[in-house]
Amino acid sequence: MKSNKNVILFLSLLMFLGLGCSKDFLNKTSLSQIAEASFWKDERDAQLAVNGIYDALQNRVIYSGTLNNFRAAAFPIFDALGDNCYGSYKFEGPGLFMESNIDPTDDWFRTLWSGLYRGIVRANVAIENISAMPNSVFPPSRKADLIAQAKFLRALLYSNLAIYYEDVPLILKSQTVAEASVPKNPFAEIRDSVIKDLTEAIVDLPISRPAAQRGYATRGAALGLLARFQLYNKNYSAVLAATEPMLTMGYGLFNNYLTLFTPAGEATNEIVFSVTFDENSAFNSTEVFSATFASAPRINVNPMRNLVNFYNCTDGRGITVSPLYNPANIKANRDPRFAASIYIVGDTFMVDLNRRFTGNTPTTFGQRKYIRNQPSATGIGVASGGGQDFYVIRYADVLLMRAEALAELNRPAEAYPLVNLVRARVRMPTVETVEGVGLTGPQMVEVIRRERRVELAFEGLRFFDLKRWGQVQQGFARAVADAVPGYLPVNRGRRSEVFPIPQAEIDVNKALVQNPVWE
């Protein structure tokens, strides 16, 4: 149960993670001397240490999310980095980034950087100390599992640093203060470390876990993350190798796309890895990425019109060519993922209040996917800390990653059934019916890119996709063309594709130099 896990997380904070309060990882006291006289004695201590790494994922600026927080935008709203959403609360970060009104001194870059490294520090400490514990303390298989979880989590954190910051310090052991000033490593070294951690984790992680351990990493989680990172690296053969065993691990597609992104979908076999949250916890393990105000849906992140227009009609054709499109009722006869993801004027977005959306957001649209529409059964308000899990990897993404790799390797015929599975869940027509048979590899790639956008909207992956496809500039152009009042995206080339190293980190670490793009 989530509540049990979070009780342990709280104990973990008391016994192991008080060190997490420091503002940046370079200013910590020695992390290798944590209660050595009383800790690392048994399996429980090892579990607490690993729980502490999971706790780092619940940071507001990592996966917990924000609703109205200064410079604290988290991965769940990273669709605002591109053409899917407008981050109308610019002070959270993405809106300023899109307008190029931001520099290395900005706190958003620092809080994200520090949050990621906080988890890495915890992972390093756990791996070192659990590895040193004698096998007599607990079964070797259990020890290997805990180390594998820590390596998976370290890889997840470093993969995000590699994607967004690129060249960063690669720290794989606990540090003393004297060792804290370190230079950055090239992206290739970060890449190789992530792949190594995941490859090793895959060996020792179990295929599945009991229901009470939902949220802990499995072999499928490591394979899925490896596939995603290798997709970013354009290593398509490695994507196929990572996704192939997942096809027979018991994953599937939940039959209701709308319900999937509510607490009712959290335990379905579509979820490969999620960050779990508990709305009833007093231990700061709630989330606000699903929170909303009662006056309008979400408000701080608004779906953009170009995304709304991107959803096809139910015949699989675009709104400019389909006879089914009705401009007077833009939701009629559209891909069901549109209605499940986006509110339009007239939709009821507060069920308990029977409140209809008036279009009172800058784009006149509202986010529905993941967003609460009434207080919880326990009385938690819609703007308060909630308990919705955030899905880092789900099986639909795995199918589309595999399909894309096949198409890129000029094996498009094998991609058809994978894309068709994703479409079938929402009763959209097959690729053969709409785009035709005999597609070339490049043609199938374009089909899959379209499918990824509508299937994965509002899951924080749009910038990841645009960057690896070399389409960030096109994303900016679509955002500009939407002409949202008060929003002026400015593409600055590479500065719009990579985050700067926080100036505060450079100030305290004289071995660290800025990314040349931001000098």
> Residue-wise pLDDT tens for the chain (519 aa)?
454 444 344 344 434 444 443 333 333 333 334 456 689 999 999 999 999 999 999 999 999 998 888 888 999 999 999 999 999 999 999 999 999 999 999 999 999 999 999 999 999 999 999 999 999 999 999 999 999 999 999 999 999 999 999 999 999 999 888 888 999 999 999 999 999 999 999 999 999 999 999 999 999 999 999 999 999 999 999 999 999 999 999 999 999 999 999 999 999 999 999 999 998 765 567 999 999 999 999 989 999 999 999 999 999 999 999 999 999 999 999 999 999 999 999 999 999 999 999 999 999 999 999 999 999 998 999 999 999 999 999 999 999 999 999 999 999 999 999 999 999 999 999 999 999 999 999 999 999 999 999 999 999 999 999 999 999 999 999 999 999 999 999 999 999 999 999 999 999 999 999 999 999
Q: What does pTM read for this prediction?
A: 0.93
One-letter amino acid of 478: R
Please report the domains of the chain, with CATH numbers, ordered by start residue.
2-205+498-518 (1.25.40.890)
Write the Ramachandran bin of 251: left for phi over 0, alpha for psi from -120 to 50, otherwise beta: beta
Q: Are 127 and 150 in contact (CB under 8 A)?
A: yes
Phi and psi, residue 237, nearest 5°: -65, -40
Q: 511-516 — which CB contacts under 8 Å span 24+ positions?
A: 511/181, 511/182, 511/183, 512/169, 512/181, 512/182, 512/183, 512/184, 513/183, 513/184, 514/104, 515/165, 515/166, 515/167
186: nearest Cα among 170, 162, 167, 158:
167
Residues 6+ apart with CB under 8 A from 161: 113, 116, 117, 168, 190
Going by C-beta distance under 8 Å and a sequence separation of 6 or more, which residues neighbour residue 185?
167, 168, 169, 170
What's the longest Cα–Cα distance across the chain? 74
- Contacts of residue 17, Cβ cutoff 8 Å, sequence gap at least 6: 52, 55, 122
